[in-house]
Amino acid sequence: MPRNRRVKSVKTELVKKAREAMLAAVQLYNNPQVTFKAESFITLSVIGWTYLLHAYYRSNGIEYRYYHYVGKKKVFDKCECFFRCQFDRSSGVFSSFRVF
């Protein structure tokens, strides 16, 4: 039985989620009424980077899911994604990852 997808591209949806997570992080951080800024910003930034890396893997045909137990899917966390990526270690991307 073929799957009935609502979205055209999973990669596009992942990039969209990554963008939304980062925008939410910046908006929350810039909100003067919120006192729990730094922790919320870090959490949403990690989520955004994870979505972005999953989209990167999806576009390059790399399987980013793995099976830990029989039948249960898990996905790579941010650290696992980063160390499997082919980023230049001297780039700004690497510096951004080291912050979190």
φ, ψ of residue 75 to 5 degrees: the values are -115, 160
Q: What is the mean pLDDT of residues 63-76?
A: 63
Interior/surface letters 43-70, b for 16+ CB within 10 angstroms, e for the rest: ebbbbbbbbbbbbbbbeeeeebeeeeee
Alpha carbons 99 and 76: distance in angstroms, whole number: 19
φ, ψ of residue 91 to 5 degrees: the values are -80, 170
Which pLDDT band holds residue 70 (cuts at 50, 70, 90)?
low
Each residue of 24-54: pLDDT tens digit?
999 999 999 988 899 899 899 989 988 988 8
Q: Where are the domains of the chain?
A: 10-95
Residue 77 has a CB neighbour count (10 Å cut-off) of 11
| pTM greater than 0.85 (yes/no) | no
